[in-house]
Structure 1
Amino acid sequence: MSLFNPSRDQARQFLVDAWKKRIDKLPATALEIMAADVVQLHPEYHALLGGGEEALARDWTPEQGETNPFLHLSLHLAIEEQLQIDQPQGIRAAYEQLLIRRGDRHEALHAILDCLAEAIWRSQRDRAPMDGEAYVESIRRAAGR
């Protein structure tokens, strides 16, 4: 598995394995612990992550009106990593403002997730690197609402 660019299947398997280690009370790496913490926040995905090969192979499409749980959890995990290292710069302070405004950590993280998804979409649409400053600014705007 490429550490910095895992395939879809590798990223999905990582989440499944991290959750299994949590359930089985097995030792885990710091990243696996972080991933299991993210999964813990989403009981609606617990059965899916324990469901084996079918869950790993399934596709979720917007046309079907479904959220891809692996994408959702992966974005959550990316945000947790961003907050840990404050990259893009200022994200931690913007998150703190949002947390005060929303009063609920998971709700604040979901607001950031919406900002991240939009930033990724814009980057892909424009075929340009993600604009970290615009991303953080969108979080600040969400905190102001």
Structure 2
Amino acid sequence: MFTPSSHDVRRFFCDALRKQRNGEVLTPMDAIAADWIVQHPEYHAELADAEEAIARDYSVEGGKPNPFLHLSMHLSIVEQVSIDQPRGIKAAHDLLVARRGEHEAHHEIMECLGEMIWASQRSGLPPDTEAYVECVRGRATR
């Protein structure tokens, strides 16, 4: 199992942006990441300097959103949908995309994903993937 460090993740996103800007060959994962980075121009300056990005503290107290967490969640959702794991997430995602558009749908799914992770951490129980999918379905049918 691959468990990248936060530095690895940050470097990956910075490299994806650099490769995309320089017209270099992108791996399939680089291409997916670059597509999401392009949709978040507010992060471009931070991702342009890999060493600064690796060193930066994105604690809650700092009050600055963590672009790497946000982009990682986009990639997680892409992966979940591509393999329909948890089961039902693809259909729920597709319904939400039809109603809100892909980018807004992803942001709504992130809310559900964050709620699931928070509840799991708080309770000490495994993540409730059925509640997660139901949360996404609920947002799609509002």
**TM-score (normalizing by structure 2):** 0.92
Structure 2 CA distance for aligned equivalents of residues 5 and 123 of structure 1:
20
Partner of 2:91: 93
Partner of 1:124: 121
RMSD: 1.4
User: Quick one: percent identity of the two aligned structures?
Assistant: 51
Partner of 2:34: 36
Partner of 1:107: 104
User: How many pairs does the alignment contain?
Assistant: 142
Structure 1 residue 50, shift from structure 2 partner: 0.4
Structure 1 residue 72, shift from structure 2 partner: 0.6
Unaligned 5+ segments in structure 2 are none
The answer to whether structure 1 residue 71 and structure 2 residue 81 are counterparts is no
**TM-score (normalizing by structure 1):** 0.90
Structure 1 residue 75, shift from structure 2 partner: 0.7
Unaligned 5+ segments in structure 1 are none
Partner of 2:17: 19
Structure 2 CA distance for aligned equivalents of residues 140 and 84 of structure 1:
17
Structure 2 CA distance for aligned equivalents of residues 42 and 78 of structure 1:
16
